Structure 1
Amino acid sequence: MRALLVVNPAATTTSARTRDVLIHALASEMKLEAVTTEYRGHARDLAREAAEAEDIDLVVALGGDGTVNEVVNGLLHEGPAPEALPGLAVVPGGSTNVFARALGLPNHPVEATGAILHALHERSERTVGLGLASGTRGSEDESVPSRWFTFNAGLGFDAGVVGRVEQKRERGKRSTHALYVRQLLRQFVDEPSRRAGRITLERTGEDPIEDLVLSIVSNTNPWTYLGNKPLYASPGASFDTGLDVLGLSRLSTAAVTKYGTQLLRSSPERGPQGRHAVSLHDLSEFTLHSKVPLPFQMDGDHLGLRTSVTFTGVRRALRVIV
């Protein structure tokens, strides 16, 4: 087997020594080429080259969810073809690693490498569904390139939190869960539309859902982690179904207290519920429109401002080693 290992040298939970150990472990079982990323988007470019090659069987992503997202978008540059494209393996190296943990992999990179090697020996893999976000036809965002996401996306409040975290990281702050909590509180204080949202959800054959402040699109669960605690925004979300949505139409102090508490207590059986909460399950396609440009994020990566995004749930999009 020939494999490409894409290494993010800035991965927050691995050192250079750890990465060397992982590379040697993988290289002992396969013909491995390891490449270190040098710029934003480099992992995508490397994965695209691997997808276009005829002799690469596997692409291994060593990094956080952002690195994994880039690799996935490189592999699927020409669209899904699970049997024709290289498989994907993930060695978690970020602060949260939602995708790897949702696949059932250990959160420790050395243990995850051992699990991957065992899965390769046993020929264990699964084909997962993914989400695709595109600029809506006829909108000012129509020309925005389509992009795949592995576990979640958001337009509005949660994307604003992600944007704030990225700004802090660019100034040298470490990506920690405490940093996310602080920026969430600051986003809440500064949110201009806490009581009347600006987002409308539209889907074919159904009445629109209007005035949402927050819209979390999930491709699997949990939605994210607070330390080692999983948070379930949409407990029914799965790699084997379409997309799920949690929308909130109010973010008053009382509403945040209520839904925040529900989220902290959420489980695979129950997520946030209430008069101002909208939960939709297994959607194949829908569009989020905004009256004004709002922050947009995918897999924890802030992508700027959008006024309209169309989401598609694509089943059996990519083979992963688990």
Structure 2
Amino acid sequence: MTQTKTERIFLIINKYAGHKNGAKAIEIVIPYLIKRGYLVEHTFTNHPGHATELAAKASVSGFDLVVAVGGDGTVNEVAQGLIGTSTPMGIIPMGSGNGLARELGISMDIRKSTMALIKGENLQLDVCKLNDQRFLCTSGIGFDAMIADKMSKAASRGFLKYVQLVIQESIFFKPLQVRMKIDGVVIEESVFLITFANASQFGNNAYIAPAASMTDGLIDVVVVRKFVKLWMPFFAVALFSKLIPKLPFVDCYKARRIELELANTPYYHFDGEPGRLKVPSKIELDEEKIWVRRAR
């Protein structure tokens, strides 16, 4: 889709993102856009789900671009309000993981990501869902879902806190017993984690599903079976080297529909956010898609 000049841009800002640096958008992004002739409005989020409400209203009001300024949680919320509309979503990444932004080639530098808002191009992406919860990048159960839950309750956020929790919790984590159908084929395993991937990475360039595509109409299912804990450092290296599929305890599938019949865990995550799992669950493509502004 050829990019045409955007006239009206609406920024939805999580001012607490990026160690409370989200408000920097006021100082950097808005003047940059106004100087180049764009009409810019903005507002701050103030409660869970607020970004979804704001995005939906901005789309109905005829804004040409709605921009999520924050981390993966803010991006997911903004997206919920734009899925199925013709209004594209832009991203100024201010979080700790920034999974979708990295997937779209958007710079972590606020000035460069601002340039991508007006010099980028629109791309239509698949949307996935676990039961009724839509997600754009990844969802899953197991170790990473437990970490997502603990991160949401931690006094501090950020990559270092994440690493601390991973090291601490990996010592005591017990594998899950899981039974599911992947396009009708029964899989029954003891697993460390299972990821349902639309995008290739969790964030921070941690590639759990290197072969995943957000436009192929398929969900990549990555099953990490239980493994000896001595393998943990190799797992970490593989995650950041796009080598996860080569590990001997990893199986990868591509599917249109997954039915989770058994999983002895209360946790799941969607785009890094924690959720409470209800089994049986269905993971499938949503009927609607979303337009996003990616870097050229």
> Any conservation in 1 of the 2:183–2:256 contact (CA below 8 Å)?
no
> Any conservation in 2 of the 1:73–1:147 contact (CA below 8 Å)?
no
2:271 is the counterpart of 1:263: no
Q: Residues 130-176 of structure 1: CA distance to partner in whole angstroms, max 9, x if unpaired?
A: 22221xxxxxxxxxxx12212111112110011111111xx2x1x22
Shift of 1:315: 8.1
Q: TM-score scaled to structure 1, two decimals? A: 0.81
**Structure 2 unmatched ranges of 5 or more:** 1-6
The 5 A counterparts of 1:144-183 are 146-168=132-154, 171=155, 173=156, 175-183=157-165
Structure 1 SS opposite 2:127? strand
> Any conservation in 2 of the 1:131–1:219 contact (CA below 8 Å)?
yes
**Structure 1 unmatched ranges of 5 or more:** 135-145
Distance 1:308 1:182 in 2: 32
2:176 is the counterpart of 1:203: no
Q: Residues 223-266 of structure 1: CA distance to partner in whole angstroms, max 9, x if unpaired?
A: 332xxxx22211110112211121122043134344334324x2
> Any conservation in 2 of the 1:259–1:272 contact (CA below 8 Å)?
no
Shift of 1:34: 0.5
Give the percent of matched residue pairs that are identical in Structure 1 and Structure 2.
Answer: 24
Shift of 1:73: 0.9
Structure 2 SS opposite 1:231? coil
> Any conservation in 2 of the 1:294–1:307 contact (CA below 8 Å)?
no
Counterpart of 1:138?
Answer: none
Amino acid paired to 2:212: A
2:130 is the counterpart of 1:133: yes
Distance 2:277 2:126 in 1: 26
Structure 2 SS opposite 1:280? strand
Counterpart of 1:90?
Answer: 91
Amino acid paired to 1:238: S
Closer, same or farther in 2 for the Cα pair 1:289/1:110, shift >3 Å? farther
Aligned length: 285
Amino acid paired to 1:278: D
2:198 is the counterpart of 1:219: yes
Distance 1:60 1:177 in 2: 24
Counterpart of 2:30?
Answer: 23
Over the residues paired in the alignment, what is the CA RMSD in angstroms?
Answer: 2.2
Shift of 1:102: 0.7
Shift of 1:18: 4.6
Equivalent residue for 1:8, pick from 4, 8, 14: 14
Range that drifts further, 252-261 or 109-118: 252-261
Equivalent residue for 1:39, pick from 42, 47, 53: 47
Q: TM-score scaled to structure 2, two decimals? A: 0.88
